[in-house]
Amino acid sequence: VGEFARTGWLAFPPLSESAYSPDVGVDYYIWGLQVAGLGTLLSGVNLVATIVKMRAPGMTMMRMPIFTWTALCTNILIVAAFPVLTAVLAMLSLDRYLGTDFFTNDFGGNPMMYVNLIWIWGHPEVYILILPLFGVFSEVTATFSGKRLFGYTSMVYATVVITILSYLVWLHHFFTMGAGPYVNSAFSVATMLVGIPTGVKVFNWAFTMYRGRLTFNAAMLWAIGALFLLLVGGLTGMMLAVPAINYMVHNSVFVVAHFHSMLLVIVYAIFASVIYWFPKVFGFKLDEFWAKTMFWLFSAGTALVFVPMYMLGFMGMTRRLDYVFNTVWHPYLLVMEFG
């Protein structure tokens, strides 16, 4: 009791094997994720069945709100991806408890199999987080533009294509592992293809706002800020999809900045959704002044943190440093700390 996993957020072997982590911290990590993953999987099955089989009379698939479509695709991803997490953690448990060699270098085992399997789950997980919030953008931008959502059908198809492609790009997380130029090229192209349906969505949101009766209230500001961050994260993601560039910045803080730019899209969208739906849930509105003040302060802090971080990544600063040995980095780090 009181121990915790000291293996990083994905518990890569061999550090998570019993030889290097004999305490119960990793066991808590495994058990906790297994229980949470099972609950998530059951919820996914429930929601997929509800949306597909229990719609109101006359509510065809192509009449559903975009938010419902994004929820459907998200839960399909959950049903497809979370059994992989369950399996890989079960194999890690067998390595720890029964001495099997799935993820060791002995008796035909391979630690890279863990890396592949965890990212087969891990990359769809990113889209599991962000796809519902694409639905939030659609609701908020349409409402506060005073128009119907532009390009409903293309939005639906773009959501489905993103769902499929998100399951086919996991290897871009480790181009440097030595899979070879053909494998890297295939996953590079697949990753770049994700940009096409995502671009369709961004253009549809932009055209929804074009010549609309725009209301720049707090929810709309958070949604627009999220779209801007989505562009930044998407463009840097396209850079990381090129193996030659990836070799330069792999394991640098450039990757950290990219990933957290995408996670901040989720944070911004959550704020937009809370402000947007709060009156419908509780019967009164949140204060616009403080919501807008929070938006501008949060956005300024975001810029101060992540612009220097992208620059430091190109300057060669790796992540997971316990001390900073290059004094050239110090001014950038001070700006980040202030942000």
pLDDT tens-digit series, residues 8-41: 888 889 888 888 888 888 999 999 999 999 999 9
51-55, 73-77, 326-330: range with lowest mean pLDDT: 326-330
For 89, 101, 104, 105, the CA distances from 108, given in Å and listed in that order, are: 19, 7, 8, 7
| pLDDT greater than 70 at residue 2 | no
Per-residue model confidence (pLDDT) at position 327? 87
Query: Which tokens go with 188?
Result: 């590079």
Task: Answer yes or no: is pLDDT of 252 > 80.
Answer: yes
- Look at 172-181, 215-224, 264-273, 319-328 and tell me which has the smallest mean pLDDT: 319-328
Dump the DSSP string for 138-168. Answer: HHHHHHHHTSPPTTHHHHHHHHHHHHHHTTS
Residues 6+ apart with CB under 8 A from 293: none
Kindly give, in sequence order, each residue whose CB lies less than 8 Å from that of residue 329, ignoring residues fewer than 6 positions away. 312, 315, 317
Instruction: Output the pLDDT for position 253.
Output: 94
pLDDT in tens, 177-227: 888 889 999 999 999 999 999 999 999 999 999 999 999 999 999 999 999
pLDDT given for residue 264 in this prediction: 95
Percent of the chain with pLDDT over 70: 99
pLDDT for residue 1 is more than 80: no
Q: Are 136 and 269 in contact (CB under 8 A)?
A: yes
User: In whole angstroms, what is the distance from residue 249 CA to residue 300 CA?
Assistant: 25
Domains of the chain by range and CATH? 1-214 (1.20.210.10), 216-339 (no CATH)
Instruction: With CA atoms as reference, report the closest residue to 260 among 126, 82, 78, 71.
Output: 126
pLDDT tens per residue across span 110-160: 889 999 999 999 999 999 999 999 999 999 999 999 999 999 999 999 999
Please state, in angstroms and rounded to a whole number, the distance separating the CA atoms of residues 225 and 207.
16
If one compares 104 and 158, the residue with the highest pLDDT of the two is 158
At residue 7, the pLDDT reads 86
Task: Map residue 262 onto helix, strand or coil.
Answer: helix
